[in-house]
Structure 1
Amino acid sequence: MYYINWPKFVRLFGLFCSQVPTLNTMGSNGKEVATEILPFIRVYKDGSVERLAGSPIVPPCAEDPETSISLKDIIVSQEPPISARIYLPKHLLDHHQPPKVPILVYFHGGGFCFGSAFSFGETKFMNRLACLANAVVVSIDYRLAPEHPLPIGYEDCWSGLQWVVSHSNEEPWVSTYADFDRVYIGGDSAGANLAHNILIRAGSEGLRNGWLSLGAFLTHPYFWGSKPVGSETKDVEQREKLATSTIWHLVYPEAAGGIDNPMINPVVPGAPSLAGLGCSRLLVSVAGKDSLRDRGISYSNAVKESGWEGELELVEVEVEDHTFHIKVYDSENAKKHIKRLASFLV
């Protein structure tokens, strides 16, 4: 259970409730529910938040028995509080003069309001990805909404990336083994949205010490908008009730333009040009059964038409659903997809 600053929450949550009806129901704990977005999250009128989705937190280990990846949890920043989990192929520790390998800065999914860099599902996925890619992975644990409404999550991820490229000497697993000519950014679902917005900012502001991202992969990116794309429902009332809309209003109640804010709808008129993405290679992945599929394809097409000069690839796994590679990580399609993501990190 998480608790929030109640006066601030009342102000922010009031904006959200003006768009999504409150509930007059009681939770199993006897508290009165303000609103809930099932099966993801429930917010109570006393300001407490109950997260209904996500996998359990697991501790790091010196060596994962399946992949021989070593894990370490670190503090990126005390103020604001940002932490991360680092993944390192253990064989690198055995080298007197270890080779430099690619480094991936990763942002987990979860609708900006649940999930963790320390969860069981993310850890299993990251172990396999780091092993297959022979790469260092830094998975940022950003602060979650609604206790910390957006844009806080964006700022945390930006700070995490800046720490990697500028404060790497503070962490030997980064400074000793990472090749800073091969810096990658990645994320799934809301994490892919975070990665996109970080790329836009990196292209505009640049990173400390002049580092550039060689590439980025966006897996099943969480983008949305008021106007339907592809096979999305055209019913306005129904669209407003979809979790893709209601979650955004919950996590970013002060977003200018609501669901058409450029951070959730990067192709809306007036959004920053996609030609400014701060990387030279981009891999966008979609799943055939995912309700966000058409948004991912639309985004890929928009990048291609923007004049961006990088190398773009769109990958679709037709028979799978949203973030299947994490939810069913032992399936054959998940293994193939993770291998495809790993091959991108060269």
Structure 2
Amino acid sequence: MGSMDKEVVSELPPFFRIYKDGSVERTRGSPIVPPSPEDPETGVSSKDITVSENPKISARVYLPKLTQVTTQKLPVLVYYHGGAFCIESAFSLVETKLMNSLVAEAKIVAISIEYQLAPENPILGIYEDCWTALQWVCSHSPAEGGNKEPWLSTYGNFEKVFIGGDSSGGNIAHNILMRAGRESLPGGVKIYGGLLTHPYFWGSKPVGREVTENREKIVSDQVWRFLYPTAPGGIDNPMMNFNAPDAPSLAQLGCCRLLVSAAELDELWSRCVLYYNTVKESGWKGEVEFVDVEGEEHAFHILNYESENAKKMIKRLASFLLK
């Protein structure tokens, strides 16, 4: 291959470079790790499955250690990983650690979705992948009788389906919840709860303590504009800015319980607070909780999974899933 082919045509630091030959080199992200029949630390079992061949969607499914033959059905968590829509994976080390801890603590069945990343997959394609994956999960409900994945059909309680995500995955989870408020899911499944940790929302006008000058230089601003340059409204597209003038009311969120969590030192902190307050004031009929962790950075519970605060955070998320 000639050196001309390896010419960089565009890049989104610190995440990736796109070369002239069309290849994409990711410059961040944690290593991929295999699933485990029984994780030595948590006893959680995991396996990788195919959700759809076209589009190409796979997932890692998790099952807690079942001490006795259980007839009790377990809550189901459908999870969307973070990584600015363009890095990380359901199969990465940090996301696998997160899911193992959460599944062990909350005793749930979880399915972490491996959606196709940007820039190869456009942003709208990512949301579509994630909705398709949720429909597939709901097809395992008793009303549908799907048994493609026995862990879901055998152990899943489809009266207690949660959707969760961190960072860009939190943004995806929000948009999926809004769609679930408008459209029905297979088997008449209703989403019970939503779990948004450090969700990635942004807008052209600063809120709270956000930086007021040179906003276009902030990563939160750049990611969306780079990956979705044709977005109607740009950074104020309702999928990114829930507070935009033309954004639908958050009263439409398709779940009855919601947990929003923020980290004090995260540049997204003010937006998380605003989201929580906007939900509360929207007339939404559900119950919303807010968790704010002092002295911590964005996605600390994932990136610094050994820390005391990370362990506390997992317990807090688990207690929400157990209610």
Q: Same fold (TM over 0.5)?
A: yes
**Matching residue of 1:57:** 32
Identity of aligned residues (%): 61
CA contact (8 A) 1:108 1:140 kept: yes
Deviation (angstroms), 1:246? 1.2
After TM superposition, the score normalised by the length of structure 2 is 0.95
Residues 330, 318 of structure 1: CA spacing in aligned structure 2 closer, same or farther, 3 A cutoff? same
CA contact (8 A) 1:180 1:211 kept: yes
**Matching residue of 1:6:** none
**Matching residue of 1:173:** 151
Matches within 5 A, 1:84-103: 84-91=59-66, 95=69, 97-103=70-76
Q: Partners of 2:223 and 2:20 in 1: how far apart?
A: 17
**Matching residue of 1:4:** none
**Matching residue of 1:220:** 198
The number of equivalent residue pairs is 315
CA contact (8 A) 1:85 1:118 kept: yes
**Matching residue of 2:143:** none
Q: Which amino acid aligns with 1:319?
A: G
**Matching residue of 2:177:** 199
**Matching residue of 1:23:** none
For the residue of structure 2 that corresponds to 1:248, the secondary structure is helix
**Matching residue of 1:15:** none
Q: Partners of 2:11 and 2:148 in 1: how far apart?
A: 41
Determine whether 1:309 maps to 2:285.
yes
Runs ≥4 residues deviating over 4 A: none
Deviation (angstroms), 1:32? 2.2
Q: Partners of 1:63 and 1:299 in 2: how far apart?
A: 38
Determine whether 1:152 maps to 2:130.
no
Q: Partners of 1:321 and 1:329 in 2: how far apart?
A: 13
**Matching residue of 2:94:** 121
Q: Partners of 2:300 and 2:164 in 1: how far apart?
A: 16
| Cα offsets for 1:146-177 (capped at 9, x unmatched) | 11111001001101111111144211100000
Q: Partners of 1:220 and 1:313 in 2: how far apart?
A: 14
Structure 1 range deviating more: 186-195 or 253-262: 253-262
Counterpart among 337, 343, 346 of residue 313 in structure 2 = 337
For the residue of structure 1 that corresponds to 2:66, the secondary structure is helix
Q: Which amino acid aligns with 1:196?
A: H
Matches within 5 A, 1:193-272: 193-235=171-213, 238-272=214-248
Q: Partners of 1:282 and 1:99 in 2: how far apart?
A: 24
| Cα offsets for 1:246-277 (capped at 9, x unmatched) | 11122222211110100011111111110000
Q: Which amino acid aligns with 1:283?
A: L
CA contact (8 A) 2:5 2:20 kept: no
Q: Which amino acid aligns with 1:215?
A: G
CA contact (8 A) 2:37 2:45 kept: yes
Deviation (angstroms), 1:178? 0.7
Determine whether 1:45 maps to 2:23.
no
For the residue of structure 2 that corresponds to 1:159, the secondary structure is helix
Structure 1 range deviating more: 32-41 or 313-322: 32-41
For the residue of structure 2 that corresponds to 1:176, the secondary structure is helix
Q: Which amino acid aligns with 2:206?
A: P
Q: Partners of 2:58 and 2:39 in 1: how far apart?
A: 21
Deviation (angstroms), 1:42? 1.7
Deviation (angstroms), 1:30? 8.3
| Cα offsets for 1:49-86 (capped at 9, x unmatched) | 11111101111110000000000100001111110000
Q: Which amino acid aligns with 2:311?
A: K
**Matching residue of 1:279:** 255
Q: Which amino acid aligns with 1:87?
A: Y
Q: Partners of 1:90 and 1:171 in 2: how far apart?
A: 18
For the residue of structure 1 that corresponds to 2:178, the secondary structure is helix
For the residue of structure 1 that corresponds to 2:147, the secondary structure is helix
Q: Partners of 2:226 and 2:314 in 1: how far apart?
A: 31
Determine whether 1:32 maps to 2:10.
no
Q: Which amino acid aligns with 2:114?
A: D
Counterpart among 79, 85, 94 of residue 106 in structure 1 = 79
After TM superposition, the score normalised by the length of structure 1 is 0.88
CA contact (8 A) 1:37 1:243 kept: no
Counterpart among 128, 133, 136 of residue 106 in structure 2 = 133
